[in-house]
Amino acid sequence: MIAPEVQEAALRLPAAPAYLYDLPALDEHAAAVRHALPDVELYYAVKANPDAELLRVLDRYVDGFEVSSGGEHAHVSALLPGRRLALGGPGKTDAELGLPHHRIHVESPYELRRLLATGLRADVLLRINPDLPVEGAALTMSGPFGMDETGVAECLPLFTDRVRLRGLHTHLASGLDASALLRLAGTLLDTDQPEVNLGGGMAVSYAAPAERFDWVAYGAGLAEVRRAGQVVRIEPGRALTAYCGHYVTRVVDVKRVRGEAYAILLGGTHHLRTPVTKGHDQPFTVLATGGRGPGVVDEPVTLVGQLCTPKDVFARKIVTSVRVGDTVVFGMAGAYAWNISHHDFLMHPRPEFHYLRG
Ligand SMILES: *Cc1c(COP(=O)(O)O)cnc(C)c1O
């Protein structure tokens, strides 16, 4: 599943562990997504991965960036000045409410009052938390996010000439396929509001990486359900950048404990937390570059890192062959990977970052 050029680059890396980003693959993927969504504004949700090289590639295809903190706002503004920014996130500070934006996603009536109190101009989308059935999601954004009908009704009379209501913002779930997202869109776009941001959450399958979100069906479906003249915007994160990232490391030990085979790898889930947070097996390829140390052939192996915790597991009981010194390339490590990880736990050296530029 790992492309030959990525395997070759992985073997040439000066040190392990390292992150290896395939920028031509990201470029191709983002171009295809853009092409599938004519007349839909495409923003990238920066929290999925704020890596500067990735943002520069995505900038060729997106209409703007969704930033969810003052930190992300400063990062994108410095790297790509003048781009359209949609500022979101629950619990915005007064300083964040004062940041320049193309749109600001207001999360509560009190937040709107605080925004009005800044005296600044603002273009607002109200983040709604509607009572809609969301089936098949990996994660639903119920709970504290946005407002129910009562909160929205409280906001509507507060708008002024300077603080203008532009429409609605929604981000209801993560891990939905195109048909499930289109069912939601059908309801959410059935509004008189001139602008609707449908959020992100497009599904990524770590178990079957070849099964990609159907952007073509989604684009065609949105064209059908939208109202004439309505501005429709989406802000995916994971489904844009997950595929282009790889975590490359090396096997330091292979052993058997009470009959179970373990491969211990340099680094760990403090560099790549995704399999722990998602509770999945991170897909990987073993490049047999090892020497004469211990190994196993075609049997279930659990791949772990160097952390002193039983939770430091990349993948459990996967049938493979692996030997000390082999290179292991984890795929799908381009979103919610390095940037969500607890880097300093145990104070191992940080990975290097390398980029395939094609
Ligand atoms: C996290 C987030 C996104 C991106 O979600 P993905 O699942 O990565 O596509 C988009 N919008 C909001 C408001 C978010 O919080």
Which atom of ligand 1 is the closest one to the Cα of 239? Answer: 9
Ligand 1 pocket mutation, candidates 58, 68, 277, criterion most atoms within 8 A of CB: 68
How many helices and strands in the chain, by DSSP H and E?
11, 18
Provide CATH code, domain 243-356.
2.40.37.10
Distance 95 CA to ligand 1 centre (A): 22
CA of 144 relative to ligand 1 center, distance in Å: 15
CATH class of segment(s) 23-241:
alpha beta
- Ligand 1: nearest atom to the Cα of 201: 7
For residue 155, give every residue at least 6 positions away whose Cβ sits within 8 Å of its Cβ, in sequence order, or none.
106, 109, 112, 126, 147, 165
Residue 52 has what DSSP assignment?
A: H
Q: Where are the domains of the chain?
A: 23-241, 243-356
Contact 312, 277 (CB under 8 A): no
Q: Yes or no: say if 222 and 185 are a contact pair by the CB < 8 Å rule.
A: yes
* Torsion sign, CA atoms 80, 85, 89, 95: positive
Residue 149 · residue 132 · CB < 8 Å: no
CA distances from residue 263 to 30, 45, 92, 328, 330 in whole angstroms, order as listed: 35, 35, 44, 10, 14
23-241 and 243-356 share one CATH topology? Answer: no
Residues, the chain: 358
Upper half-sphere CA count for residue 90 (Cβ side, 13 Å): 12
Cβ < 6 A, ligand 1 pocket: 45, 47-48, 66, 88, 171, 174, 199-202, 235-239
Q: Is the dihedral of CA 22, 23, 25, 29 positive or negative?
A: positive
Contact 222, 230 (CB under 8 A): no
The β-bridge relationship of strands 122-127 and 163-169 is parallel
Between the CA of 207 and the centroid of ligand 1 the distance, in Å, is 21
Q: Output the pLDDT for position 24.
A: 98
Q: How far is CA 63 from CA 39, 45, 116, 266, 307, in A?
A: 11, 12, 27, 39, 41
Residue of 171, 197, 277 to mutate, ligand 1, most atoms within 8 A of C-beta: 171
Q: Give the position, in ligand 1's atom list, of the atom nearest the Cα of 200.
A: 9
> Model's pTM, two decimal places?
0.96
Contacts of 166 (CB under 8 A, 6+ apart): 103, 123, 124, 125, 194, 195
Q: Dihedral sign for Cα 310, 311, 317, 319, please.
A: negative
How many angstroms is it from 140 CA to the middle of ligand 1? 11
If phi > 0 it is left, if psi is from -120 to 50 it is alpha, else beta; for residue 344 that is alpha
pLDDT of residue 263: 98
Ligand 1 centre from 85 Cα, in Å? 14
Tell me if 171 sits within 8 A of 199, measured CB to CB: yes
Each residue's pLDDT expressed in tens, for the chain with a length of 358 residues: 789 999 999 999 999 999 999 999 999 999 999 999 999 999 999 999 999 999 999 999 999 999 999 999 999 999 999 999 999 999 999 999 999 999 999 999 999 999 999 999 999 999 999 888 777 777 777 788 999 999 999 999 999 999 999 999 999 888 999 999 999 999 999 999 999 999 999 999 999 999 999 999 999 999 999 999 999 999 999 999 999 999 999 999 999 999 999 999 999 999 999 999 999 999 999 999 877 899 999 999 999 999 999 999 999 999 999 999 999 999 999 999 999 999 999 999 999 999 999 8
Active-site residues, by number, are: 308
Atom 13 (ligand 1): residue with closest C-alpha? 171
Which residue from 29, 44, 47 has its CB within 8 A of the most atoms of ligand 1, so it is best to mutate?
Answer: 47
Q: Which atom of ligand 1 is nearest to the CA of 202?
A: 9
- Give the pLDDT of residue 283: 98
pLDDT for the residue numbered 322: 97
CA of 228 to the centre of ligand 1 (A): 26
Q: Which residue has the tokens 């680094």?
A: 267
Closest ligand 1 atom to 174 CA = 7
